[in-house]
Chains A and B, each alone.
Chain A
């Protein structure tokens, strides 16, 4: 992109109230403002065995109850409608009120070319109800599920709020294993999460249980070098260059896979909510 075109593009982006709060790479794959609907975000379920396609009894139980996403105007018991950052509605993920339960929604794409993938979003999290506390929430996650000609990975970052009630408030990245899962009656973690260097960050949770505050989060992964690049949350930038997620062998019929996932996990027998005002995914060199 020439300097003139790039400057013109930056002027257009910065003068657009919807887009000026993002810093997208050259190619915007999608921009979802949830005032315009659910935009293709859907509940994630596991795979049927090849010999039992469509047989619900054959779905892996740990990936069979990730809950349907919903459009929320964020109603609180004391003030009524809270609304989103821009407009009224946001995407909401809600766990069941079972300790360890996970709500996971995804958008299924393919990568149009190999370059950097940048996910930018404005989000907030909260447990349910007037008695909810910050350590009722275990973590929220922004993830990818990608495959090329030779490998597949689930590069993801998460903000660990608390575990077993202990507050952590730090960023982590996925190193190896499979995505976190949940089975009726138990939660388990199959992912090895590594701490982002100096990744402790206190987000604005707001001690009042019915107030949420929106945060900017940006996460970039490089498909060309198959490594993490950076994580940004508001004024903090974390350099993830050179960190590579573990790869596994390719799955059949998945070349070009690029699923974007959003997840919330509860750390108590109280529902945990992830609210997403908007999300923009872009690619570039």
Chain B
């Protein structure tokens, strides 16, 4: 039987100007996860999007994982690979800069 895979679109074509977290997503069945962050548009002076993976035991309380954050300041396609993540994953996204704006897609691709 081929491996189970699933691609979830966590954010679709949304505009963010402030910090946000993605909706909690259950991933207990998977052994590999990749977040793809597709930046469609960036505006502002020195805009910066800092993306961090977060883990949770029950989907209610969250803690940063021990990887380095992904820092984005231009459009393009970016990714974060995650292993050993338990049952829940989300991204914590911090936005900095002067009048910053990020229009983006976030995919979560799971395999297990």
Contact = CB atoms under 8 A, between A and B. Distances in A.
A65 interface: yes
Interface in A68-96: 68, 70-73, 75-77, 80-81, 89, 92, 94, 96
B60 A68 contact: no
A70 B88 CA distance: 11
A57 B26 contact: no
A107 to B, nearest CB: 14
A129 interface: yes
A131 to B, nearest CB: 10
Residue among A57, A68, A94 with the most chain B CB within 10 A? Answer: A68
Contacts, number: 53
Contacts of A233: none
A76 B58 contact: yes
B87 A68 contact: no
B73 to A, nearest CB: 22
A38 interface: yes
Interface string A33-61: 00001100001010000000000110100
B84 interface: no
Interface in B87-104: 87-88
Contacts of B88: 75
A73 B13 contact: no
A172 interface: no
B24 interface: yes
Contacts of A65: 12
Given A59-B13, A67-B23, A75-B26, 9 more contacts: A37-B4, A38-B6, A59-B12, A65-B12, A70-B8, A70-B26, A75-B87, A94-B24, A96-B23
Interface of B: 4, 6, 8-10, 12-13, 23-26, 28-29, 57-60, 87-88, 105
7 contacts: A43-B9, A67-B23, A68-B8, A70-B8, A70-B25, A73-B28, A92-B26
